[in-house]
A and B are shown apart, each in its own frame.
Chain A
Amino acid sequence: MNFRRILLIATPYAWLVALFLVPFLIVFKISLSHYAISIPPYSPVFDISAGWEGFKTFLSKLDFDNYRFLSGDDLYWKAYLSSLQIAAISTIITLVVAYPIAYGMAQANDEWRPTLMMLVILPFWTSFLIRVYSWIGILSNEGFLNQILLGLGVIDTPLAIMNTNTAVYIGIVYTYLPFMVLPIYATLEKMDGSLIEAAEDLGCTRISAFWLVTLPLSKPGVIAGCFLVFIPALGEFVIPSLLGGSQTLMIGKVLWEEFFSNRDWPVASAVAVILLVLLIIPIILFQRNEQKQREANQ
């Protein structure tokens, strides 16, 4: 192995260590410490000047009390389950909305595609916070939506959407839509059109050709899109806190409460570690599975 190759392999690993492993270890270390009224608000604090002995006494003071505490408190399980549910449902809705958009973009003329692409990306030019805030103006009791529906005589009393889970779903689907559209579009665009012609020549109707050819071939894009939506939605904080009500239980909000209202950094860190583990296991399983399939195909 020559030097260049080592460097090539080492670079991504160094990246992972610096930006993932080190921050993770810091959070993990805090999760093993105890809440204290001090700066920073936990103990023990590792003092580098105390040397090796100091490091050993530091280690001896760490324990898993916070994890034991969490396992005994059903609030966190409820929050995890409720976040999983909200993230899963939003991902499915996003997929259903995004697929036709991506399909339409892929079918469009070459000259139209850059414009359509632009339209999907355009909302990113405005601050995410402002876009979520604008939904308050749309969904609240005095908002556009209710005013229009009241004006048209469709409803008599304003629909209570604001401060409910429905508003959270709307916010998540709206915000993450481009993350679903773009990967699906990328796979559909690359697809060879002659495959559809072949399927139709062999007796498929247009609909069955879509089900038997287009959909399976776009699977990688669908899966990538689902992950890009599901993972950030699971830990989402801004959308539930702005659009959701006090009944909206999401782990991102619970984490925020732990840090800023309860000022309990060790427990907050333990919650974060568990969230990460819960996320990483399915991702690793999924990748294993993909790799096996690829090997089987070859």
Chain B
Amino acid sequence: MMKTGMTFAAALLAMAGAAAAEEVRVYNWSDYIDESLLAKFTEETGIDLVYDVFDSNEMLETKMLAGSSGYDVVVPSGTFLQRQIQAGAFMKLDRSKLPNYGNLWDMVSERVAKYDPGNQYAVNYMWGTTGIGVNINKVKEVLGDDAPVNSLALIFDPKNMEKLSQCGVHLLDAPTEMIPAALAYLGLDPDAQDEETLAKAEPVLEAIAPYVLKFHSSEYINALANGDICAVFGWSGDVLMARDRAAEADNGVEIEYHIPKEGALMWFDELAIPADAPNPDGAYKFINFMLDAHNIAAASNYVYYANGNKASQQFLNEDVIGDTAIYPDAQTMEKLYTTTPWDPKVNRFVTRMWTKIKSGT
């Protein structure tokens, strides 16, 4: 009853929108842009921007594979991009419509080519790592001064988690992030593709699940900044944003981000245009706008994620470009790994495992 009412209202709004000025619909991750850039885009191009957010690749993929999402620009991460390209969800980019294409950083483009051969379908927005965020004072209070904050053992050793559960732990609600990390903790290949190896992650995650306050992929930014939780396994920039928010609030909460010494996932979020985008020309304008060195630098300075734009680096703040947690040095770079998508059968095996881990059955 409620739902039909809501869809009807949404349909009315959509119709009303179609009659108005030109618009571009962007579907990006939550907390992932300096919002003043949105107004700047409308100011420069005269195009209205509809900006919606999501917090999981799975959610985005559901919309992409259902078709007719109505979005002009979406932001999938590497392995998901690859699967959706296979499914025919995106259109090939016409680089002549992206005058700022030359600003891209080849170091990133080369790595993304693993998912998007020849970089035909997408350009990089941001990239980062998945690691450990801690409220350092609270963690030391619970685990002592030698708490292993730079090791996966902090999260995957039940002994540590049991103590940390006193002050609260969030984990990402994303099997594609958590399972490779559990494998890395076991010293196995994080990019394993066979069910036998992947199954070894289950007991590790099952053992710590009872101590997890919540599996969620976006609430931890505020929870960490407010001091509601003391540890998280999450995305680099989100943890650093929490650090920033806590500093702004001046609430005595001190946040640190650590790339685990056992290795960390390096991921890439890519701007792509759905094959059935209502306004592809507007989409190109938005992507070109984000390829502008000043604009993407403003976004990175705001969200504390590294971008794939070489030309923007001169405009980055020192606490972004100079932080090895964001722009890792050569030594840290060696510890990073990438993953490849699981085939459908393995994917079902993994998602089933994840549901069981979360519900504790």
Contacts and interface: CB of A to CB of B under 8 A. Distances in A.
Interface in B73-95: 83-84, 86-89
B361 A75 contact: yes
Contacts of A129: 2
Given A40-B65, A127-B2, A263-B62, A257 B355 contact: yes
Interface in A231-253: 246-247, 249
Interface in B178-237: 209, 212, 214-215
B87 A39 contact: yes
Interface in A27-43: 35-41
Nearest to B359: A249
Q: How large is the interface on A (under 10, 10 to 19, 20 to 34, 35 or more residues)?
A: 20 to 34
A266 B91 CA distance: 27
Contacts of B214: 163, 246
A78 B360 CA distance: 11
Given A36-B344, A37-B87, A262-B348, A247 B360 contact: yes
Interface residues of B, number: 32
Contact of A261 (B2, B65, B351): B351
A246 B359 contact: yes
Contacts of A36: 344
B16 interface: no
Contacts of A259: 62
A41 B66 contact: yes
Contacts of B58: 260-263
Given A78-B361, A263-B65, A264-B351, A38 B87 contact: yes
B23 interface: no
B40 interface: no
A246 B358 contact: yes
A73 interface: yes
Interface in B285-343: none
A179 B20 CA distance: 42
B119 interface: no
A264 B344 CA distance: 9
B344 A246 contact: no
B89 A246 contact: no
A254 interface: yes
Contacts of B59: 260-261
A260 B61 CA distance: 8
Contacts of B2: 127-129
B67 interface: yes
B352 A75 contact: yes
B100 interface: no
A96 to B, nearest CB: 25
B360 A246 contact: yes
A15 to B, nearest CB: 16
Contacts of B358: 246
B344 to A, nearest CB: 5
Given A39-B87, A246-B214, A246-B215, A75 B62 contact: no
Interface string A49-90: 000000000000000000000000111001000000000000
B65 A35 contact: no
B61 A39 contact: no
B356 interface: yes
B217 to A, nearest CB: 11
B56 interface: yes
B62 A35 contact: no
B340 to A, nearest CB: 14
Given A39-B66, A78-B361, A254 B87 contact: no
A74 B86 CA distance: 33
Residue among A73, A262, A267 with the highest chain B CB neighbour number at 10 A: A262
Given A35-B344, A39-B89, A260 B62 contact: yes
A264 B88 contact: no
A263 B61 contact: yes
Nearest to B83: A37
A200 to B, nearest CB: 43
Contacts of A249: 359, 361
B66 A40 contact: yes
B88 A75 contact: no
A264 B212 CA distance: 26
A74 B361 CA distance: 9
A261 B357 CA distance: 14
Contacts of A74: 361
A257 to B, nearest CB: 6
The CB with the most chain A CB atoms within 10 A, among B84, B173, B344, is that of B344
A264 B361 CA distance: 20
Nearest to B173: A261
A35 B64 CA distance: 15
Given A41-B66, A246-B358, A247-B360, A261 B87 contact: no
B14 to A, nearest CB: 20
A128 B83 CA distance: 37
Nearest to B61: A263
Contacts of A35: 344, 348
23 contacts: A35-B344, A37-B84, A38-B65, A39-B66, A40-B65, A40-B67, A41-B62, A41-B66, A75-B355, A75-B359, A246-B212, A246-B360, A247-B360, A249-B359, A259-B62, A260-B58, A260-B62, A261-B56, A261-B59, A261-B354, A261-B355, A262-B58, A264-B348
Interface of A: 35-41, 73-75, 78, 127-129, 163, 246-247, 249, 254, 257, 259-264, 267
Given A39-B64, A163-B214, 18 more contacts: A35-B344, A36-B344, A38-B87, A39-B88, A40-B67, A41-B62, A41-B65, A41-B87, A74-B361, A129-B2, A246-B358, A247-B359, A249-B361, A259-B62, A261-B59, A261-B351, A262-B351, A267-B348
Nearest 5 A/B pairs, CB to CB: A262-B351, A41-B65, A39-B67, A261-B58, A38-B87
